[in-house]
Amino acid sequence: MLDAKLVDEVRQIFIPDADYTKGIRRSIGVPEMDSYLREETNIDEDDDSKKMLLQSSISNIKCNTRLLICHQLDKIQRLINEKMWLVHHFIATDTFKGARKEVVDEACRNTILQPCLDIVKRFLKSDDHNIIIE
């Protein structure tokens, strides 16, 4: 199911001659799905090579996602260690597990949006930055 959703999503923006170094096509999934999307119409639905090509694309997406996470964490650590930035950590996963949209929206406002707004307000009000916000 997830595989089909992923393929459909990437297929919507897939253009065979597109440049993968710019814009939305840089997103994870598009370059990795290139070979699969180019070949999917040439291979029978039941062909094992089509399944292997899809699994290879998905494996590449997972690998590149892990690499991106590591790079992002390195950048965050550098900001903390070298620049001495105060970094706030929010874990929002549980916020999105609500059954109804209203419950999720309320949880987002209370556990993500409002605390983030409070942090930004404190930052802007601090004397260290010579900015006054009312």
pLDDT for the residue numbered 15: 84
pLDDT for the residue numbered 63: 95
Q: Can you give the residue ranges of every domain in the chain?
A: 1-84, 88-134
**pTM for this entry:** 0.67
Q: How many angstroms separate the CA atoms of 31 and 53, rounded?
A: 13
CA atoms within 13 A on the CB side of 115: 10
pLDDT for the residue numbered 125: 84
Nearest CA among 119, 12, 114, 20 for reference residue 64: 20
Q: How many angstroms separate the CA atoms of 19 and 76, rounded?
A: 29
The DSSP-derived string for 54-116 is: HHHHHHHHHHHHHHHHHHHHHHHHHHHHTS---------GGGGG-SSHHHHHHHHIIIIIHHH
Reported as a single tens digit per residue, the pLDDT across 15-72 is 888 888 888 888 878 889 988 988 887 877 677 888 899 999 999 999 999 999 999 9
Reported as a single tens digit per residue, the pLDDT across 81-124 is 998 888 888 888 888 776 788 888 888 899 899 999 999 998 88
